[in-house]
Amino acid sequence: GAVVSQHPSWVICKSGTSVKIECRSLDFQATTMFWYRQFPKQSLMLMATSNEGSKATYEQGVEKDKFLINHASLTLSTLTVTSAHPEDSSFYICSAVRQDTQYFGPGTRLTVL
Amino acid sequence: AQSVTQPDIHITVSEGASLELRCNYSYGATPYLFWYVQSPGQGLQLLLKYFSGDTLVQGIKGCEAEFQRSQSSFNLRKPSVHWSDAAEYFCAVGLMEYGNKLVFGAGTILRVKS
């Protein structure tokens, strides 16, 4: 149990376009999901907390207008990177909370050309 | 402030040898503690967690960890390492009062030599 999926697993886009990443909890409902970014050879950096039915809470330094988060249902949260630029290229990982434990998705590799 | 320290950035062990990964935390309340493993290009997989009760917890992949309050430690152990255990291991403390946020250590990269 406690399976979290992400789609797509990788995406390549042109600079200036927007990209949407989906995070789904497959076998449980999650009121809270988290979005992380991970740079090579580094630990995870928390970007935002996504709560179903309410606005996301962003960490300091994360541009909320650039990284749009929508948690429309108890099993789906989406992260949209708007007007992507090469510096947004990274590995994005989501997690969903079940019984006080975060379960992570497999990650999405974003490359912006 | 809450923090997690994993003092070893890299560890190399021989296949079949035992493993201990160190983790120390700084947290004012009773901690929720986790160990996760990440293979290259993958998400994080939960190995085990400690919330309360028995301070020796068993997890998946033959792992165990011991919560030692006096040492502020939560070290991960495995009696015999397999080549497939090569990965990066993250210790984390859960901030329940902040909506289950996690504070991660920097990670320990495990290399297994045959």
Contacts of B108 (CB under 8 A, 6+ apart): B6, B8, B9, B10, B11, B21, B22, B88, B89
Q: Is the pLDDT of residue A108 over 90?
A: yes
Contact A8, A108 (CB under 8 A): yes
The pair of structure tokens assigned to B10 is: 């890299």
User: What was the pLDDT predicted at B4?
Assistant: 96
Top mean pLDDT of A3-7, B25-29, B94-98 is at A3-7
Distances (CA, A) of B105 to A23, A100, A110, B73, B92: 24, 19, 24, 12, 6
Calculate mean pLDDT across residues A65-72. 94
pLDDT band at B30 (very low <50, low <70, confident <90, very high): confident
Mean pLDDT, chain A, as a whole number? 95
Contacts of B90 in chain A (CB under 8 A): 43-44
Q: Is the pLDDT of residue A40 over 90?
A: no
Q: Is the pLDDT of residue A26 over 90?
A: yes
State the CB neighbour count (10 A cutoff) for residue A47.
Answer: 24
Q: Is the pLDDT of residue A10 over 90?
A: yes
Q: State the smallest CA–CA distance between residue B75 and chain A in angstroms.
A: 18
Out of A40-54, A56-70, B2-16, pick the least confident. Answer: A40-54
Q: Name the residue among A34, A100, A107 with its Cβ closest to that of B43.
A: A107
Q: Is the pLDDT of residue B19 over 80?
A: yes
| Residue A109: alpha-carbon gap to chain centroid | 11
Contact B50/A at CB under 8 A: no
Contact A15, A84 (CB under 8 A): yes
Instruction: Please state whether beta strands B108-113 and B10-14 pair in parallel, antiparallel, or not at all (unpaired).
Output: parallel
Q: State the smallest CA–CA distance between residue B100 and chain A in angstroms.
A: 6
Please provide the size of chain B in residues.
114
Contacts of A61 (CB under 8 A, 6+ apart): none
User: What was the pLDDT predicted at B98?
Assistant: 86
Contacts of B104 in chain A (CB under 8 A): 43-44
- For residues B65-98, one letter each, b for 16 or more C-beta atoms within 10 angstroms of the residue's C-beta and e for the rest, the string is bbbeeeeebbbbebeebeeebbbbbbbbbbbeee
CB contact under 8 A, B106 and A104: no
pLDDT band at B20 (very low <50, low <70, confident <90, very high): very high
Mean pLDDT, chain B, as a whole number? 95
User: What was the pLDDT predicted at B59?
Assistant: 97
Q: Tally DSSP H helices, then E strands, for chain B.
A: 0, 12
User: What was the pLDDT predicted at B105?
Assistant: 95
Q: Is the pLDDT of residue B83 over 80?
A: yes
**Residue of B10, B93, B101 for testing the chain A interface, max A β-carbons within 10 Å:** B101
Contact B71, B24 (CB under 8 A): yes
Q: Is the pLDDT of residue A1 over 80?
A: no
The pair of structure tokens assigned to A74 is: 């108890």
